[in-house]
Amino acid sequence: MKGARITAELATQLAEDNTTLLRHKAHRDTRITKRQINLGGPLTAGDANRIIRARESKEQVQEEKRLKKRSSKQLTTEDTPTPAPRFIPWIPPMDDVSTI
């Protein structure tokens, strides 16, 4: 009885291991394309380095756009003259000389 139970447990364990191995083999043997679904991050160091380079390149392009936008904005503000103030001082009328 004890031997039969051990044999049955070993058989189920081997079946589970075989299923896991086949699933991993199927995943490993899938054709690698340029369009992959990101399943939780890079799988290898090369993938990680490629992702880092792509992110750095993207950040550099964004920084260049930001600087270009800022410089064009500064050029337009420097070229336009500032309007004169609209303050007009009040000068009392000079008709009545006795109040002076």
| pLDDT computed for residue 65 by the predictor | 92
Contacts of 50 (CB under 8 A, 6+ apart): 42
Q: Domain range spanning residue 71?
A: 2-27+46-75
- How many structural domains are present in the chain? 1
Q: What is the pTM of this model?
A: 0.34
Please give the structure tokens belonging to residue 70. 């800022």
| pLDDT computed for residue 7 by the predictor | 92
The distance from CA 4 to its chain's CA centroid, rounded to whole angstroms, is 58
Q: Confirm whether 98 is domain-assigned.
A: no
Q: Confirm whether 69 is domain-assigned.
A: yes
The distance in angstroms from the start CA to the end CA of the chain is 128
Contacts of 99 (CB under 8 A, 6+ apart): 92
| pLDDT computed for residue 79 by the predictor | 63
pLDDT tens for each residue of the chain, 100 residues long: 888 899 999 999 999 998 888 888 877 777 666 665 566 777 788 888 888 899 999 999 999 999 988 888 776 666 666 666 677 777 777 766 655 5
